[in-house]
């Protein structure tokens, strides 16, 4: 009995200590809040005012899990993310009861099923397409859907390894992003597109200029099939990047060709390219040095400059043409960019792609220049729409991030990515196991292609690129849909 009283007394002492400590903490927080000057709410409502900041920070997570409807969240809604997750996991993507999509939203694509589609043994299948027929080593691209540019540095080592192995298994190309070619990109042994950013990382000399010697070193890798000159990306057109000194490790410095421990600033554009003629000269030079197809990536602000580009190509001769053009929509993503550029600059891909396609075709360059579409195209319907609009290929970055396990935590720029994809914190990287995740990457790519082929079969063609604008209808403001060919009439090539 006496031992029980001792236990009760001890418990009471602990409780009084905790209450006293808690009271002391509250007093300290009260004094801090009352006399600080940078937060008016905390100054007027000490301690209690702290909950506003807490709830604001937690709000994005509560909305994602409890309050947001399946198809209303941005930048990607739950329905989009869950489709990728199911595809990557190898689970069936069939659904029951009915669609949750609101088909009355302006711009919604509705594919036109054929009255008498091909029978099952005539199922639509993708075929390889040659890029760069005039290069010494043309590239026979196997897949309509490929991996867009994400640099090592922006992504973690295990993320790049998983993407490399998954891309190789699925038979798709992997774009290095502007951060140079690492041995992590090469681990899978698949097709590589080397992106040349404004800082020329990986192919620069000591002064930051394009180095023919480094170009040859990169091109010597048999995995490297093409080069892409990056003029702009959708999330931040006209804006260069800053790689902080703390992130310039010995490994990053060696890969990018910069000085360890020194901040690296990317120009907002290629300083040696002032006009389209300069660009065409650079494209031709890189193609001549490397022997590989060369194209460029940009964002459409208006169509007039592209009309000038295609006119100059015709005047100079189609041998000087870029082998491909990647059109990134203004809705494209990145690890970090100013909000005004992310929100307000650059034409969306759904407007830009048909316009550029028409200009290319009007100048008779349909078979010479391949178009690659990029910008929030992560589901089969998005990819099928792009092919109908005129794209030859579609690339995605964030779709593949979802396949790796990205939960849209929106922490890409803080080195605290909880899934280990965009962080260099070794503790967080441990959660991403490349030997497991690469299978998900491959399954996602394969599922996209299969379901685009399903749509192509339904509309009555035998290959996805045979789909045209008459195969898809776009919902208008009045709720009725009209053929895309009516909104964006396809043009006849000039003679």
What pLDDT, in 10s, does the model give residues 133-170? 999 999 999 999 999 998 887 888 899 999 999 999 99
Any idea which of 37-41, 114-118, 460-464 has the lowest mean pLDDT? 37-41
Domain check: are 265 and 199 in the same one? yes
Would you say residue 493 has pLDDT above 70? no
Domain-located, residue 321 = yes
Q: Assign 495 a pLDDT band (cuts: 50, 70, 90).
A: very low
Domain-located, residue 94 = no
State residue 494's pLDDT score.
47
Domain check: are 134 and 257 in the same one? yes
State residue 4's pLDDT score.
62
Q: Assign 23 a pLDDT band (cuts: 50, 70, 90).
A: confident
Average pLDDT, the chain: 85
Read off the pLDDT of each residue in 358-377 and give the average, rounded to a whole number: 94
Q: Assign 232 a pLDDT band (cuts: 50, 70, 90).
A: confident
Q: Assign 84 a pLDDT band (cuts: 50, 70, 90).
A: confident
**67, 84, 105 - which closes a domain:** 67
The whole-angstrom separation of Cα 175 and Cα 210 is 19
Q: Assign 191 a pLDDT band (cuts: 50, 70, 90).
A: very high
Read off the pLDDT of each residue in 388-397 and give the average, rounded to a whole number: 95
Domain check: are 36 and 174 in the same one? no
The whole-angstrom separation of Cα 362 and Cα 343 is 31
State residue 192's pLDDT score.
97
Phi and psi dihedrals of 393, rounded to 5?
Answer: -145, 160
Angle at 357 between CA 484 and CA 200, to 5 degrees: 135
The whole-angstrom separation of Cα 473 and Cα 109 is 6
Sign of the torsion formed by the C-alpha atoms of 157, 439, 183 and 395: negative
Would you say residue 53 has pLDDT above 90? no
Would you say residue 91 has pLDDT above 50? yes
Domain-located, residue 76 = no
**67, 92, 114 - which closes a domain:** 67
Domain-located, residue 90 = no
Domain-located, residue 103 = no
Give pTM, 2 decimals. 0.85
Domain check: are 57 and 129 in the same one? no
HSE-CB of 354 using CA atoms within 13 angstroms: 16
The pair of three-digit structure tokens given for residue 143, joined into one six-digit string: 């897949």
Domain check: are 44 and 193 in the same one? no
Contacts of 462 (CB under 8 A, 6+ apart): 118, 122, 124, 125, 456
* Terminal Cα distance for the chain, rounded: 106
Any idea which of 13-27, 104-118, 320-334, 354-368 has the lowest mean pLDDT? 13-27
Strands 324-328 and 294-298: parallel
The whole-angstrom separation of Cα 168 and Cα 221 is 15
Cis peptide before 403 (omega within 30 of 0): no
Total domain count, the chain: 2
Domain-located, residue 354 = yes
Q: Which long-range contacts (CB under 8 A, 24 or more apart) does 212-220 make?
A: 212/289, 214/257, 215/286, 215/289, 215/290, 216/289, 216/290, 218/181, 218/194, 218/290, 219/289, 219/290, 219/291, 219/292
Domain check: are 128 and 6 in the same one? no
Would you say residue 100 has pLDDT above 80? no
Domain check: are 398 and 483 in the same one? yes
**51, 67, 83 - which closes a domain:** 67
What pLDDT digit, counting tens, does each position of 350-359 carry? 999 999 999 9
Domain-located, residue 50 = yes
What pLDDT digit, counting tens, does each position of 259-296 carry? 888 887 788 889 899 999 999 999 999 999 999 999 99
Angle at 44 between CA 42 and CA 45, to 5 degrees: 60
What pLDDT digit, counting tens, does each position of 296-317 carry? 999 998 899 999 999 999 999 9
Domain check: are 62 and 127 in the same one? no
Would you say residue 18 has pLDDT above 80? no
Would you say residue 335 has pLDDT above 50? yes
Any idea which of 163-172, 223-232, 414-423 has the lowest mean pLDDT? 414-423
Give the CATH number for residue 342: 3.20.20.70
Q: Map the chain to HEC letters.
A: CHHHHHHHHHHHHHHHHHHHHHHHHHHHHHHHHHHCCCCHHHHHCCCCCHHHHHHHHHHHHHHHHHHCCCCCCCCCCHHHHHHHHHHHHCCCCCCCCCCCCCCCCCCCEEECCCCCCCCHHHCCCCCCEEECCCCCCCEEECCCEEECCCCECCECHHHHHHHHHHHHHHCCCEECCCCCCCHHHHCCCCCEEEEECCCCCCCECCCCCECHHHHHHHHCCCCEEEEEEECCCCCCCCCCCEECHHHCCHHHHHHHCCCCCCCEECCCCCCCCCCHHHHHHHHHHHHHHHCCCEEEEECCCCCHHHHHHHHHHHHHCHHHCCCEEEEECCCCCCCCCCHHHHHHCCCCHHHHHHHHHHHHHHCCCCCCCEEEEECCCCCHHHHHHHHHHCCCEEEECHHHHHHHCCCCCCCCCCCCCCCCCCCCCHHHHCCCCHHHHHHHHHHHHHHHHHHHHHHHHHHCCCCHHHCCHHHEEEECCCCCEEEHHHHCCCCCCCC
Residue 146's domain comprises 122-487
What pLDDT digit, counting tens, does each position of 446-484 carry? 999 999 999 999 999 999 999 999 999 999 999 899 999
Domain check: are 307 and 206 in the same one? yes
Sign of the torsion formed by the C-alpha atoms of 160, 161, 166 and 167: positive
Domain check: are 241 and 134 in the same one? yes
Domain-located, residue 117 = no
Would you say residue 104 has pLDDT above 80? no
Domain check: are 18 and 129 in the same one? no
């Amino acid at each position: 009995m006496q031992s029980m009283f001792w236990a009760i007394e001890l418990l009471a002492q602990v409780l009084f200590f905790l209450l006293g400590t808690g009271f002391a903490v509250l007093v300290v927080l009260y004094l801090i809040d009352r006399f600080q000057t940078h937060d008016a709410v905390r100054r007027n409502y000490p301690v209690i005012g702290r909950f506003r900041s807490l709830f604001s920070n937690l709000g994005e997570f509560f909305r994602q899990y409890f309050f947001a409807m399946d198809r209303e969240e941005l930048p990607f809604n739950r329905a989009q993310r869950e489709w990728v997750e199911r595809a990557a996991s190898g689970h069936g993507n069939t659904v029951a009861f009915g669609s949750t999509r609101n088909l009355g939203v302006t711009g919604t694509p509705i594919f036109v099923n054929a009255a008498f589609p091909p029978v099952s043994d005539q199922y639509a299948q993708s075929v390889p397409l040659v890029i760069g027929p005039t290069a010494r080593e043309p590239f026979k691209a196997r897949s309509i859907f490929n991996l867009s540019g994400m640099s090592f540095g922006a992504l973690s080592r295990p993320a790049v390894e998983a993407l490399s192995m998954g891309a190789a298994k699925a038979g798709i190309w992997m774009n290095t992003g502007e951060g140079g070619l690492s041995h992590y990109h090469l681990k899978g042994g698949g097709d590589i597109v080397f992106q040349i950013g404004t800082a020329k990382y990986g192919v620069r000399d000591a002064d930051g200029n394009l180095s023919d010697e480094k170009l040859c070193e990169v091109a010597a890798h048999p995995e490297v099939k093409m080069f892409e000159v990056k003029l702009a990306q959708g999330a931040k057109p006209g804006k260069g990047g800053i790689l902080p000194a703390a992130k310039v490790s010995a490994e990053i410095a060696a890969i990018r060709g910069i000085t360890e421990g020194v901040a690296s600033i990317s120009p907002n554009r290629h300083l040696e390219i002032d006009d389209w003629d300069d660009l065409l000269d650079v494209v031709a030079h890189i193609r001549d040095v490397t022997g590989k197809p060369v194209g460029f990536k940009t964002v459409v602000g208006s169509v007039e400059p592209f009309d000038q580009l295609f006119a100059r190509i015709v005047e100079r001769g189609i041998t000087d043409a870029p082998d491909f053009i990647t059109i990134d929509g203004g809705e494209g993503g990145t690890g970090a960019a100013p909000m005004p550029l992310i929100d307000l600059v650059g034409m969306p891909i759904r407007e830009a792609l048909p316009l550029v396609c028409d200009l290319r075709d009007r100048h008779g360059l349909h078979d010479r220049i391949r178009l690659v579409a990029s910008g929030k195209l992560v589901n089969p319907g998005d990819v099928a729409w792009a092919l109908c609009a005129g794209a030859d290929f579609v690339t995605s970055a964030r779709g593949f991030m979802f396949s790796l396990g990205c939960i849209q935590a929106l922490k890409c720029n803080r080195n605290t990515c909880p899934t280990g994809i965009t962080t260099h914190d070794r503790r967080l990287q441990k959660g991403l196991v490349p030997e497991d995740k690469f299978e998900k990457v491959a399954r996602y790519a394969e599922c996209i292609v299969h379901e685009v082929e399903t749509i192509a079969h339904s509309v009555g063609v035998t290959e996805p690129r045979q789909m045209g604008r008459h195969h898809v209808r776009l919902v208008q403001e009045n709720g009725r849909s009209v053929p895309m060919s009516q909104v964006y009439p396809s043009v006849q090539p000039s003679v």
